[in-house]
Structure formats: C-alpha cells, structure tokens
Amino acid sequence: METQLDSVKDDLPLMANTSYMLVKHYILDLDVDFRTKVIEGTVVLFFEPGSRYRKTSSTGKEGCQSQCDETCEMRTSEPCHVPVAGVSPSLSDTECNDFAVCGEGEEDTSDKNGNHSNEERASGISSSKDCCDIENHGNKDFLLVLDCCDLSVLKVEEVDVASVSGIEKFTRSAKLTVVSKELENLRNQIVHELVTLPAHRWKEQLYYFTRCSQAPGCGELLFTTGAWSLEIRKSGIQTPTDFPRAVRIRYKTKLEGRSVTWTTDQNGRPCVYTMGSPINNRALFPCQEPPVALSTWQASVRTAAGFVVLTSGENSAEPVQLQEGILSWYYYVTMPMPASTFTIAVGCWQEVKQQSFTAAAQTDIEFSLPSSQTDCRWHEEICGHVEYPCRFQNPAARLQAVIPYRVFAPWCLMERCEEHLLQLIPQCLSAAYTTLGIHPFSRLDVLIVPSNFSSLGMASPHIIFLSQSVLPGGSHLCGTRLCHEIAHAWFGLAIGAHDWTEEWISEGFATFLEDIFWARAQQLSHDEVKGQQELKALLRWRRLRDEVQNSEEELQVLR
C-alpha cells in the first residue's frame, strides 16, 4: 500500500515515469457542473518514448527491466486486492473508499490477475503494482505511470488515430516505409509524425490533434490508481516503443481534490479555479508533473451560460453556444510548458473596460523606446529550445511593448479595477519590455480571484491571478505585485526550474525585477529609485530576520 505522506515533512511525490514515456500534447474536453461541483470529461495524451529509454536501451527488454528496478525501489508493492462481487467484509474504511465494489446484480469484471477492465467504472486500487507485471504468466508488461490524485478514472483506451480522414498524409513519410505495416505500428508512427511537425505547421498540427482526439477507441487498457498515481498497461506490450502513443482517459474530479477550489466570488456567485500550488494539477487531470516534462495543450470547456471560462491559452476565446443554456470555450498553447502551469478559472466574471484610456495608453506607450535603444537590443539570435512558434523569433513581436490584455473581476470590484489596476497594466508591461525585451507570451488576462485565494498573486501562461487585497492599497501595492507576476513570464514560465528544488530561483528573479519594473513604470529619478530600493531592502531584511528568530528550525528549510 502506498505510504501516506506527511504534508509538513514529506515532498510531493512525482510518480510519472517521464524517462520512458513523455507526453507531448494534451487535449482536454471538459464539462464544468456547478450543481454537482464536478469537472468531468476526457483527456487525450499524445506520447513519445522518453530520452532515458532511447539512451539506455537498444532493445525494448533492457529498457523495461531498468524501469522495473527503478520503480520497484521507489515503492513497495503488495498483491493487488480484487473486489469480490457483492461482499467485502474484511476491507478497512480506507480501502473501501478506493475500491470498486460490485453491487448486487453487477458483474465482477476484474480478471484473475487483479487487473481492472474499464467496465467497472471505478478505478481505485489501494496498492501499486510493479511497473512490469511479473505475475502475468511470466511476462513483463511495460507500465505507464502518470501523476494522479483524487480523480475517479472511469475508462482508459487506445485511440485509433489511423481512422481519421486525411491522416494518411502522415503515412507517406520515407520513415514509414521501413517499418512494419501492422496497424499498431502505423498508429504510433502517425503520432510521431504529428508531434514532430515543424513549427510553421502549428495550425495544421492542432487541427489533426483535435481530429485524432475525437477518433474512436481501438481497445481498452488496463489501469490501476494509487494515492498519487494512475498506472496503465497494455497486455503483452513490454517496451515504451510499442506502447500506444495516443491514450484517452475518461474521468471526473472529486470534491476533495486539492487542485481546484469550488467557492463563491465576492458577489456570492459560484465559481471554481485552480490553486495549482498545493499538489499542482494532478487532481484536475492525469498528467506528468516533473518540470522537465514539457508539453502543449488544447482545452475545450463547457459550462452553463452566464459563466466565463478563462484558461492558459494563446487565444482570447469567444464562447460558442452548443445548445440552449450551454456554452463552449476553446483555448490552445503552442509553447511547450510543464503541465503544472495549466490554469483554469470559471465564474461570473465581468470584463473591466475603459476603452478611451486603454487605446490612448497603448498608442502612447507601445513605441516609447528611443530608436537607438531598440536597434541595439534586437540583434538576430537563434533560440536553443525545442522548436515551436517562438515570439523571440517573430519580428512583429519586437516592437510590441504592450501586449493585448484584458481584466476580469466580480462586478462589485469593477470600479476599483478601473480606478487602479486597468491603467497600471500598460505601464508595467511597457516597463518589463524596456528591461527584458520581447514578451514571451502574446497576450495577458488578469483575474481578481475570490477572497479565499491564499496569495497576493500567481502567474500562469497568458493569465495572472491577483488577490483583491492589492486593490485597496493604492497604486503602489497593486503595481509592485503586478510587476512581480509579469516578471514570472520570463522567470518561472519561459525559463523554469529544472526541478522543484530550484523553484526559489524564479521567485528570487521576480522579486528582484519587480523593483526595477515598478521604478520604470513610475518614471522615477535616479535618486528616487535608489531611496525606494534601499527602503525595500531594509524591510525585507527585517522580515527575514524576524522569521528566522521566531520560527522553528525545521520550518526554515526550503523543500
């Protein structure tokens, strides 16, 4: 049985075996139901074999065995408990919560080895099996492990991408003529061709990702869930190379899940948003959470009319009415990002607009840099990251000091947002551009989140959450916090920590840059900047000293 974690002493476990299988793209198709407080739908994952498998294994057997050794050292496996039809008197309360117990008249669909088929509709198993199923007649099946917590997984299946009309264009590559024409290999090769399309074909890539995600299933996959993971295998498949590259997971969230918060806004209207930080997004959708697992995504979210859906996306989504009373919102991201940076907020938000000021501000600020300063900064450079439609290589982005932005808030806070926040955003964006250059992201949404938000702000791709607490403090508190979160677009998002132990570096850069951004946004003199920075440095030193003197030693260790 998986070890229960102490939230004070233990680190958040990263269970995903990203060295062997790496998610390259997610497609989320979700329904948000405020009546039941459940988010339900599917996520389709498109994979490529991981770097460690390719490096360490010239044959699939060696790679799978090394993964077995690694994973089995990480956790102790127990025999998988199988629910017996109608009766389970010996199970503890904890075990019962996670078990699929067959009710009267239902059929026990688990096989003799304790593996769940999808007909059970419940996915909890209290223990984790070995990464390779040694008990299955001596075979060692490859086990895909995803980070997952507090989700009801209902079904896992391979997606028949080969059935998509027009997909045959991805089977004409010379690479495909030398492989077996078996259907399984064909499907995997199609996914490989799709995820490796050059950056300039990103629109075509997203189109076919969507079409593939809607293709029928071609076989259910065996799966088990633990406290922190979802484990998937296909009987007889022993290597990551042969494992299905397109997998659809049907699931729904649980009310106790800690990735999303169901609450009410400042007007008492229902809303839900991702907190992200406590356990990242593993209670929102099964994913790979190590920061090195970079992927793109698309998200279609349906909810009742009257609600606004905001997510991490490059496009400013407009709702589409699917049926009376139901709207659908679609977002996409083409920059590979960690799954933990995905954010969603659904509520009765109102867009704060002040058209006359916004248009004038953007016109005045956008081209405020002297030509000499502009010329010296924008010399041609070649990015060293993986290929994607990069703004740093986009000439049009080089003169965009203020990217398009929107502000959303409950209606009771709209006047404060219009008075303080709305006019600060172009000033802060322009100051960031003057300091660091091209904005990594093409647009920005700013949302005033509900009062139970536990921080002053949180930055995600294309969207910033701000606490209502920054609004009454005048322009200084609001401006410095906004500058801090804008700085995270460069440090924390475009450039991220290699692992979670280095996350403090991103915070350090953002804290340092917020003073520089804010000083430039205010257009302070040199002496005023120096005085302000010295005062803030003194206040920060005193706060750090007081925390060290008045906190237990174990709380001073950064994990």
SS3 for 40?
A: strand
- Provide the Cα torsion 412, 416, 418, 424; round to 10°: -140
> What is the amino acid identity at position 391?
R
Domains 21-26+38-52+140-296 and 350-355+388-523 in one fold:
no
The partner residues of 344 in beta bridges, in order of sequence, read 311
Contact by Cβ (8 Å): 257, 151: yes
Asked if 98 contacts 126 with a C-beta cutoff of 8 angstroms, the reply is: yes
**Spatial separation of the C-alpha atoms in residues 272 and 455, rounded to whole Å:** 16
Q: Which of 95, 120, 485, 514 is catalytic?
A: 485
Within 10 angstroms of residue 376's Cβ, the number of other Cβ atoms is: 9
Torsion of CA 488, 491, 495, 501, to 10 degrees: -100
> In this predicted model, what pLDDT tens digit does every residue of 219-265 receive, in sequence order?
999 999 999 999 999 999 999 999 999 999 999 999 999 899 999 99
Residue with tokens 């000083």: 519
CB atoms within 10 A of CB 27: 24
DSSP 497: -
- Residue partners of 490: CB distance under 8 A and separation at least 6: 432, 436, 440, 509, 513
Neighbours of 183 (CB within 10 A): 12
Q: Which CATH code, of 1.10.287, 1.10.357, 2.150.10, 2.60.40, is assigned to 21-26+38-52+140-296?
A: 2.60.40
pLDDT digits (tens, 9 = 90+) for 108-129: 333 433 344 444 333 333 333 3
The helix (run of H) or strand (run of E) holding residue 445 is strand 444-448
pLDDT in tens, 302-332: 999 999 999 999 999 999 999 999 999 999 9
- 350-355+388-523 CATH: 1.10.390.10
266 and 450 in contact (C-beta within 8 Å)? yes
Question: 431 CB contacts (<8 Å, ≥6 apart)?
Answer: 483, 516, 517, 518, 519, 520, 521
User: What's 192-234 look like in SS3?
Assistant: HHHHCCCHHHHHHHHHHHHHHHCCCEEEECEEEECCCEEEEEC
Statement: residue 91 has pLDDT above 70: no
Average pLDDT of span 14-38:
96
Tens-place pLDDT, residues 32-80: 999 999 999 999 999 999 876 654 444 444 444 444 444 443 433 333 3
Angle at CA of residue 209, ends 206 and 212, nearest 5°: 150
- Judge contact between 333 and 313, C-beta under 8 A: yes
**pTM for this one?**
0.81
Which helix (H) or strand (E) is 474 found in, with range?
A: helix 474-487
For the chain, which residues make up each domain, given as ranges? 21-26+38-52+140-296, 350-355+388-523
Distance of CA 535 to the CA centre of its chain: 37
pLDDT at 8 (0 to 100): 57
Instruction: Identify the pLDDT of residue 176.
Output: 47
Active site residue 485: yes
Q: Which H/E stretch holds residue 38?
A: strand 38-49
* Spatial distance between the Cα atoms of 94 and 294, rounded to a whole number of angstroms: 35
Cβ-proximal residues to 80 (8 Å cutoff; 6+ apart), any chain: 113, 114, 115, 125, 127, 129, 224
- Beta strand ranges found along 275-420 (DSSP E): 294-304, 308-311, 320-323, 326-338, 344-347, 350-352, 405-409
